[in-house]
Amino acid sequence: MLGLGEANRDDDHILLESPGFQLVVHRIPDHSAGNAARRTTYSSREGGLQTGVLRSSLESIRTIVSAHGSTMESRDKEWSFNGVAVCDAVDPEGNMI
């Protein structure tokens, strides 16, 4: 419907893209360890649409995020998808970036 093709996938993500646009779909994690049933309700800050930005380094974005009153996860929580280093941040209103 959107003209996006699958460009990459792993166990937790699917990368859909078209010229000039990428959309990464994240699998919702099972928060109920040891329970086979998935939760069906999530808080307003879990899930939903999460925006992202591409930068040449996470270090450069850490400085910008901090200067604007936001916080990033620690370096030990960085991960990789599709050959790109990724790290979540939270804006001053509590939205994930």
51-96 pLDDT, tens digit per residue, is: 677 777 888 888 888 888 888 999 998 888 888 888 888 888 787 8
Lowest-confidence pick of 15-19, 43-47, 65-69, 90-94: 43-47
CA atoms of 42 and 3, how far apart (whole Å): 29
The model scores a pTM over 0.75:
no
pLDDT at 97 (0 to 100)? 78
